[in-house]
C-alpha cells in the first residue's frame, strides 16, 4: 500500500465535521481539508448539549460538510483509500448519523470502512501533528472525558487513571454556569481567572498525593459553589477571584496526577513515555499548558499538544485514526454497530468506568 487518502467523519457530540487526511508510507500525515461546523449556538440557550437537537443538526448539515471537505481536498471518491467515521463513544443519535453516512459512502464507492473510536482518534492526533512515537502518555481532558492513558500502539491502550466523578471540562462548565458566565464555560473561566487573585480562596485539591493517578472534581466544584453562595451577590472581582482560585486548584491537581501517571507508566511499560500528549478541549487552557510544560521537563520528556482546533472534536483526527488503522489492515464490516459507550481499555473499564 502506498500513500493512503482517508475521509473522516465526526458526529459524536456537537461538532459536525468531515476531513481528508493523507498518510505516507513512512507514517507521516497531512491534512488536506478539515471542515468543522459547530452547533455551539444551537445548544447555548440550554446551557449544554441537547442530544435530540444535536442529532437533527448533524443530519441537516453532514452531506454539505462532507462535500465541502472533498472539494477543498480537490479529490473524488474514487481517489480515497478508505472512509472512516467515529462509531462512538458519544451521543448515540449523532453517532448513528455519521456512521450510517460513512457506510453508505463506503458501499457506493466500494471503499473499506473504518469504524474509529473517538477517544482513539484524540489519542493518535499527536502522531499526525507532532510525529510522536509509541509509547506515549496521553492526558485526555475534555467536556466528557478525563483520562490518563498509556498508548503503546494503534489499538493498544492501557487506561491508568480516570475521573471518579466530573470531567475537568465539565467542572469548568459548571463553575462558569454558577457564576453566570456563558456556555461553554472553559474559555470564560480562563479569561476571568487571568485578572483574578488565585490566592484569595484556598480550594481543595482532591486526591492530591495519592498513588493512583485518578481525578475527582466534584468536591472542588462544590467548594466553589459554597463560596459563591456565601459571597452573593457577587462583584466582578469576586467572579474573577473565584475563577482564578478554581483554576489554580485544577492546575495543581493536573500536575500532581500527571506525575503519578508517569510513575505508573514507567512501572507498566518498563520505560518512560516518549512524549506527554495532551488532547481534548481543556488543552486550550494557557495556565494548564504552561504547567504541563514544566511537568514534561521534569519528567525528561517532550510535551505535544496539537493546535486548539485539533484538540477539540474534528474530522481530521477521525480520518487520521482511520489511516493509522488502515495502514495496519484494520478495517470493519458494513454492519459494524454504533456504540454510545466504548472504553479505550476494556480491561480497566469496570463497573466504575465511564465511556
Ligand atoms: O474536546 P471538546 O471540544 O469536547 C468534548 O467534550 O468532547 O472539549 C470541550 C470542553 C468544554 O468543557 C470546554 O469548557 C473546555 O473543553 N474548554 C476549556 C477551555 N476551552 C475549552 N476549559 C478550560 N479552559 C479553556 N480555555
Ligand atoms: Zn472529543
Residues 105-146 pLDDT 10s: 999 999 999 999 999 999 999 999 999 999 999 999 999 899
Class (C level, CATH) for 136-305: alpha beta
Q: Is the pLDDT of residue 248 over 60?
A: yes
Q: 230 is written with which cell numbers?
A: 456565601
Q: Please, are residues 43 and 14 in contact by the beta-carbon 8 Å criterion? A: yes
Report the percent of the chain where pLDDT is more than 90: 90
Q: Across the chain, what does the average pLDDT equal? A: 95
What was the pLDDT predicted at 353? Answer: 45
Residue 5 alpha carbon to ligand 2 centre in Å: 23
Cβ 47 under 6 angstroms from ligand 1 = no
Q: Is 213 in the pocket of ligand 1 (CB under 6 A)?
A: no
The residue-averaged pLDDT of 294-306 equals 97
User: Going by C-beta distance under 8 Å and a sequence separation of 6 or more, which residues neighbour residue 9?
Assistant: 17, 18, 62, 66, 83, 84, 85, 86, 98, 99, 101, 102, 315, 318
At residue 204, the pLDDT reads 97
Nearest to 17 by CA among 71, 58, 72: 58
Q: How many residues does the chain have?
A: 355
CA distance 48 to 14: 10
- Quick one: how far is CA 249 from the chain centroid? 21
Q: How much distance in Å is there from the Cα of 171 to the middle of ligand 1?
A: 10
Q: Calculate how far, in angstroms, residue 143's C-alpha sits from the geometric centre of ligand 1.
A: 5
Least confident of 44-58, 93-107, 124-138: 44-58
Measure 141 CA to ligand 1 centroid, in angstroms. Answer: 8
Q: Residue 2: which pLDDT band, with cuts at 50, 70 and 90? A: confident
Task: Note the helical H segments in the chain.
Answer: 40-43, 51-73, 92-109, 118-130, 168-178, 186-194, 218-231, 236-269, 286-298, 308-311, 315-326
CB of 86 closer than 6 angstroms to any ligand 1 atom: no
> Cell numbers 513512512 correspond to what residue?
26
89 lines ligand 1 (CB under 6 A): no
350 pLDDT tier (thresholds 50, 70, 90): low
Residue 135 φ then ψ, to 5°: -90, 150
89: left (phi > 0), else alpha (psi -120 to 50), else beta? beta
Domains 4-129+309-327 and 136-305 agree in fold: yes
How far is residue 319 from each of residues 69, 95, 314, measured CA to CA in Å?
A: 11, 15, 9
Helix (H, G, I), strand (E, B) or coil at 108: helix
Q: What is the mean pLDDT of residues 308-336?
A: 96
Domain ranges (residues) in the chain: 4-129+309-327, 136-305
Among 5-9, 182-186, 288-292, 331-335, which stretch is predicted with the lowest mean pLDDT?
182-186
CATH number of the structural domain 4-129+309-327: 3.30.420.40
Residue in the structure block whose three cell numbers are 510525529: 131
User: Residues marked as binding for Fe cation?
Assistant: 118, 122, 313
Q: Which ligand is nearest to the CA of 146?
A: 1
**Whether the predicted pLDDT of 91 surpasses 60:** yes
Amino acid at each position: 500500500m502506498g500513500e493512503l487518502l482517508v475521509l473522516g467523519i465526526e458526529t459524536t457530540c456537537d461538532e459536525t465535521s468531515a476531513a481528508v487526511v493523507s498518510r505516507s508510507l513512512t507514517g507521516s500525515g497531512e491534512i488536506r481539508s478539515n471542515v468543522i461546523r459547530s452547533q455551539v449556538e444551537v445548544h447555548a440557550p440550554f446551557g449544554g448539549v441537547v442530544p435530540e437537537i444535536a442529532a437533527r443538526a448533524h443530519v441537516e448539515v453532514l452531506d454539505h460538510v462532507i462535500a465541502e471537505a472533498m472539494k477543498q481536498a480537490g479529490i473524488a471518491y474514487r481517489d480515497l483509500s478508505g472512509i472512516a467515521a467515529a462509531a462512538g463513544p458519544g451521543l448515540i443519535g449523532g453517532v448513528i448519523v455519521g456512521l450510517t453516512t460513512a457506510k453508505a459512502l463506503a458501499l457506493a464507492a466500494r471503499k473499506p470502512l473504518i469504524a474509529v473510536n473517538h477517544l482513539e482518534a484524540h489519542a493518535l492526533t499527536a502522531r499526525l501533528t507532532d510525529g510522536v512515537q509509541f509509547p506515549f502518555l496521553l492526558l485526555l481532558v475534555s467536556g466528557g472525558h478525563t483520562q490518563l492513558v498509556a498508548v503503546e500502539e494503534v489499538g493498544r491502550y492501557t487506561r491508568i487513571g480516570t475521573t471518579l466523578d466530573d470531567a475537568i471540562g465539565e467542572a469548568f462548565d459548571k463553575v462558569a454556569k454558577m457564576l453566570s458566565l456563558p456556555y461553554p464555560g472553559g474559555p470564560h473561566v480562563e479569561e476571568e481567572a487571568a485578572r483574578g487573585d488565585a490566592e484569595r480562596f484556598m480550594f481543595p485539591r482532591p486526591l492530591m498525593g495519592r498513588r493512583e493517578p485518578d481525578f475527582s472534581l466534584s468536591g472542588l466544584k462544590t467548594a466553589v459553589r459554597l463560596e459563591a453562595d456565601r459571597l452573593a451577590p457577587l462583584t466582578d472581582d469576586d467572579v474573577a477571584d473565584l475563577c482564578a482560585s478554581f483554576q489554580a486548584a485544577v492546575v495543581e491537581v493536573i500536575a500532581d496526577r500527571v506525575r503519578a501517571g508517569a510513575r505508573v507508566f514507567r512501572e507498566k511499560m518498563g520505560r518512560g513515555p516518549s512524549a506527554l500528549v495532551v488532547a481534548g478541549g481543556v488543552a486550550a487552557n494557557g495556565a494548564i499548558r504552561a504547567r504541563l510544560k514544566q511537568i514534561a521537563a521534569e519528567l525528561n520528556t517532550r510535551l505535544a499538544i496539537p493546535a486548539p482546533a485539533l484538540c477539540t472534536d474534528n474530522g481530521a483526527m477521525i480520518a487520521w485514526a482511520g489511516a493509522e488503522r488502515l495502514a495496519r489492515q484494520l478495517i470493519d464490516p458494513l454492519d459494524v454497530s454504533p456504540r454510545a459507550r466504548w472504553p479505550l481499555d476494556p480491561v480497566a473499564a469496570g463497573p466504575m468506568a465511564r465511556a
